[in-house]
Chain A
Amino acid sequence: MRTWRGLVGLTAFFAFWQGLTMVGIIDPFMMPSPISVIEALWEMALDGSLWINLGASLQRVLVGYAAACVVGVSLGLLCGWWRVVADFVRPVVDALRPIPPLAWIPITILWFGIGDMASYFLVFLGAVFPTFIATYTAVRGLDRNQMNAALCLGAGPRLLFADVLIPASLPIILPGLRIALGIGWACVVTAELIAAQSGLGYLIQQSRMLFQIQNVVAGMVAIGLVGLLMSLLLERLERRVNAWAPSERA
């Protein structure tokens, strides 16, 4: 039912857009109609350029995001568990966090040149903070009584970590990881606009220079759809893992 509503919403959006171009409110040169965008997507799918660039972007986002998850979750666990560590780390994080990934691009190019490494780094920067904050918040908010219950039942560090700390934290960590992936995906495109020779961002940039506006929008649509798909997949995973949690039962 909800999937159905989502499809109706998307269809209505595209229909509205198509309508605007057909009655001439939108100049098709400035904003091509959805049908010509779909045609452009289809052509890029047939000649393979869509897949090559999509693959390059996905590979970059996965590497950067994986690194962000490892660092963000570990640091979040450490800071959540030991207040002293948080006292040292949090000011640094809170000072770095407001710097948008875009502002990191010049120095990223200086450090890594133009290539995959620059993209990994920018994705990492975009995704690591929400991952950290979610994990930190989750561990901070753990129910003291549940911890005590586990301890008095004889739980050692390993059982406490694997059977209590982690599952109790997941209802807050997983939505954070989902948001971080969305940000990472946006960052990879940003990075590719400037600091890469392939990927969906690069495709958009190249098409703009060639005045292939329908390809620019086709690239944007591809980014949006892939982002939507990622979000849906992670949300489904969340619902399974956190089925017990109040937040998933509302």
Chain B
Amino acid sequence: MNQMSMIAADTPIAIAGLSKIYPGQRGGTAVTALQHVDLTIRRGEFVSLLGPSGCGKSTLLSIVAGFQKASEGSVLQDGVPITGPGPSRTVVFQDYALFGWMTIQKNVEFGLKAKGMPARERAEIARALIAKVQLSGFEDKYPHEVSGGMKQRAAIARALAPDPEILLMDEPFGALDAQTRVLLQEEIARLSSDAGKTVIFVTHGIEEAVFLADRVVVMSPRPGRVREEVLVPLPRPRTAEMRADPWFVRTVKDLWDTLKPDWQKEQGQ
């Protein structure tokens, strides 16, 4: 194995010189959503993309997912350019995006069905995943019959089902109440650590970003770019008591201090 492919094997996602420009609509000015973003993500790493709205973090995730194309620069997965969405990079959406006409069981099975897996086998795998996200007993419920937190658990199980290399989470707890959010953060900490998945987690919650990640990539708006990176030395899996760790508390506060002007600016606009 030569050196290049070894690097590729260690860095499932390599983003270099990435820009995204939306042309102006009907004579309006073009919007630079992302400018010269360089980011390398290691295998098994949990990376939080943190920033206020308008910093392009969701756009970046959507480009990595393959839903949008970059205007400039390259996005490689294992050394190969990403050209579209695929089951090696599954997404958990803020609004769950569950299929309302399918039971939770069928939702989780969807990615397995897409693979052409026989019905019995995929039912088994889906059931195990549903148990893992603690939704056993709700297999035959429809999404509208369960709470927001349960919907998001189901969506996480669905995203894990095709056994993706990378899990992309786009503000997954944004629509949940504060208590449910804390519980699900701990759940994600446990799941991601168990599954050893590479995770990109987009959020505007500083505490959540630090609590979950090995590395917090802080972004700033207009144009969206990487502002700084913070390595989180806390061991994994993360547990609730780490929220009281002095390093954790200080880092969250420091990040708030640096981000505050950006936030205020976005609020003012």
Partner of B65 from A143, A148, A244 at Cβ < 8 Å: A148
**Cα separation A145 to B91 with both chains bound (whole Å):** 10
A98 adjacent to chain B (CB < 8 Å): no
Given A145-B97, A164-B99, A244-B144, A152:B85 Cβ within 8 A = yes
A78 adjacent to chain B (CB < 8 Å): no
Residue of B nearest to A159 (CB): B114
Are B99 and A146 within 8 A (Cβ)?
A: yes
Main secondary structure of the interface of A (DSSP, over half): helix
A249 adjacent to chain B (CB < 8 Å): yes
Are A168 and B101 within 8 A (Cβ)?
A: yes
Given A152-B87, A153-B87, A153-B162, A244:B114 Cβ within 8 A = no
Are B101 and A150 within 8 A (Cβ)?
A: no
Are B91 and A148 within 8 A (Cβ)?
A: yes
**Cα separation A151 to B168 with both chains bound (whole Å):** 14
Number of residues on chain B facing chain A (CB within 8 A)? 31
A-contact bits for B156-176, CB 8 A (1 contact / 0 none): 001101100000100000000
**Cα separation A170 to B86 with both chains bound (whole Å):** 26
Residue of A nearest to B89 (CB): A152
Are B113 and A159 within 8 A (Cβ)?
A: yes
Q: Which residues of A contact B95 (CB under 8 A)?
A: 145
Are A149 and B114 within 8 A (Cβ)?
A: no
Residue of A nearest to B170 (CB): A145
**Cα separation A193 to B223 with both chains bound (whole Å):** 68
Are A156 and B97 within 8 A (Cβ)?
A: no
Are B144 and A152 within 8 A (Cβ)?
A: no
Q: Which residues of A contact B86 (CB under 8 A)?
A: 152, 154
Minimum CB–CB distance from B158 to chain A (whole Å) comes to 7
Given A145-B95, A146-B97, A152:B114 Cβ within 8 A = no
Are B114 and A153 within 8 A (Cβ)?
A: yes
Are B111 and A153 within 8 A (Cβ)?
A: yes
**Cα separation A246 to B87 with both chains bound (whole Å):** 29
A167 adjacent to chain B (CB < 8 Å): yes
**Cα separation A71 to B158 with both chains bound (whole Å):** 36
B247 adjacent to chain A (CB < 8 Å): no
Interface pairs A-B: 3 shortest CB-CB: A154-B87, A153-B111, A154-B114
Residues of B within 8 A of A (CB): 65-67, 84-87, 89-91, 93, 95, 97-102, 110-111, 113-115, 142-144, 158-159, 161-162, 168
Residues of A within 8 A of B (CB): 143, 145-146, 148-156, 159, 163-164, 167-168, 170, 244-246, 249
A163-B102, A246-B144 given; 12 more Cβ-contact pairs under 8 Å = A148-B91, A148-B97, A149-B91, A149-B93, A149-B97, A150-B99, A152-B67, A152-B87, A153-B158, A155-B114, A159-B113, A245-B101
